[in-house]
Structure 1
Amino acid sequence: MKRLFKYTISIVIAAVIAVSLWLYYPTYQIQQMKEEAAPTSAQAALSYVDYFSNVDKESLNHLAIGDSIIAGFGSENEESFVDYFSRRLEEQTGKTVVLENEGILGINSTNLNTLVQTGKFDEQIKRADLITINVGGNDILETLYQGDYKNVVANFDSMRETFIKNLTAMTDRIKKENPSATIVFLEMYNPLKPSHDLYKVADQLLPKWNVKIYEVAHKYNHSIVLETTKVINGHHLQYLAPDGVHPNALGYEALSKQMLEQLKKKPFVEAV
């Protein structure tokens, strides 16, 4: 009987540890990658904004590709965070920033990757100093529309695998066309209210999605991840449009401030 009890306790403990690792290890991984990217005293002299300020060009080209977040859907003035950010970068660098916003409503990662691979953005990529990418939300929404949240949970790993293959493939293509371009990826955020039945589920799954974005950024020189979850979350619902999913004008402006803050702090160094 004692042996059976000990065996049962061991199984329970192992299950708890496994679940904890599944839920919380991605958050730990993200934090570790952020800390690895923190500047040393020797690196801190040159940030991304410093680099853009010093580059021998009168103007900077900013290409933004992706979904409705890039397009600025939900904003009362029809401007995305990339519009706000480009103006802020102009002020910081004293250079003209030419924005090419190629956001497409409803596009998923597979379709965006197809456009990148077939060369739709090649000329824009080649002349870009900065490329901002946001995609993946519609991968999840399409699965949700095919059933319910249980369908999303059941298919989460396969969705994530498809997404990361697409994101890696398009980043490979972009870096092949323009190795020196700085790329900014966006985290996926949780727009649900803390009182929502699915808030905790989404909050547990998102780090498992976002850690893969950080892993892609970690592979390439001059690639960073915009910490959207610092801006849009259950404690900052004032940044959401009436649809409860997309940012409003205040939200997009807050994202632009976060993007500039990160580019002012992050050292312009080669990836590890």
Structure 2
Amino acid sequence: MNKLFKVIVAVLLALSLGTPTAFAHQDHGHGHGKDSLVALGDSIPFGYNLTTNNSSPAKNAFPGLIADEADLRVRNLGVPGWQTTDLLTALETNQKFRQAVRHADYVTVNIGSNDFLEILRAANAESGGNQQKFQELLAFKLANSDVFDNIAAILEEIRSRTDAPIVLYNIYNPFQVNDPLHRVSDLFLPQINAKFAGLADAYDDVELADAYSAFGNNQAKYVIPRDIHPTAAGHKVLAAIGIEAFCFDFVHN
């Protein structure tokens, strides 16, 4: 937690200075006013279950928190249930998504959790309760998944439309510590998240937000009980590491 504490302190210090200098404006030629943050992904950026009816993206989901703290306009395009193929298709064919990205000054991408949960459930169902078979099936399905090809294509599609900095979130462990799936997830998520890091390194102006390390084993605080989505406190952590990632990007430009 030392790193996370330092991140939060840094964010609070930046806020106390009054102006979000880390988010210095890059002119993309689309008028004046506040810069825009476009959030792409699934139910996590949407802020699922932060509100009672989930009728629209939650204002206290991490994209809104980043926007508030950095004085940005936010366009939250997170869609509950989406997998990587859904987001890729939207970026390729949906004018709302394509136009939003084209006019973005900052972009966050949080996608892949539903893909991996589906793989996890399939391996569990096919294993018949055999733990060794379950782990073997899970490893095989992960190795043969097209998730990272999809995420690479998503990053390429975004980059073809804007030179805005992109923050790519990796996957936190969504299971409470006393859930047997917590340990299983911890066996595989480091390998999965290493691929997220590799993708971030492979593209210009793409930085990684390490949700896995930030949440650690603090699911009791950061994940809604009997759920897999972040609590309000969890979203504050996701916002903090997003701000850190954007600031890191500007330091190196």
Tell me, which stretches of 5 or more residues in structure 2 are unaligned? 1-19, 53-57, 126-133
1:107 corresponds in structure 2 to 82
1:268 deviation in Å?
A: 3.9
User: RMSD of the TM alignment (CA)?
Assistant: 2.2
1:166 aligns with 2:111: no
Distance 1:109 1:75, change over 3 A: same
1:267 deviation in Å?
A: 4.3
Q: TM-score, normalised by structure 1?
A: 0.71
Distance 1:111 1:263, change over 3 A: closer
Q: Distance in 2 between matches of 1:129 and 1:211?
A: 27
Aligned length: 213
2:9 corresponds in structure 1 to none
1:74 deviation in Å?
A: 2.6
Q: Which among 66, 79, 86 is matched to residue 85 of structure 1?
A: 66
2:160 match: secondary structure? helix
1:130 corresponds in structure 2 to 106
Distance 1:221 1:254, change over 3 A: same
Q: Distance in 1 between matches of 2:250 and 2:77?
A: 28
1:176 corresponds in structure 2 to 160
1:208 deviation in Å?
A: 1.2
1:257 aligns with 2:240: yes
Q: Tell me if structure 2 keeps the 8 A contact 1:64–1:82.
A: yes
1:60 corresponds in structure 2 to 35
1:152 aligns with 2:142: no
Q: Distance in 1 between matches of 2:25 and 2:152?
A: 30
Distance 1:206 1:186, change over 3 A: same
Q: Distance in 2 between matches of 1:217 and 1:147?
A: 28
Identity of aligned residues (%): 25
1:140 deviation in Å?
A: 1.7
| CA offset digits 1:64-122 (Å, max 9, x no partner) | 111000110132483311111110111xxxxxx11111111101111211111224311
Q: State the structure with bigger RCO (CA 8 A, min sep 6), 1 or 2.
A: 1
Tell me, which stretches of 5 or more residues in structure 1 are unaligned? 1-48, 91-96
Distance 1:68 1:256, change over 3 A: same
| Greater displacement, 79-88 / 241-250 | 241-250
Larger Rg: 1
Q: Distance in 2 between matches of 1:235 and 1:104?
A: 25
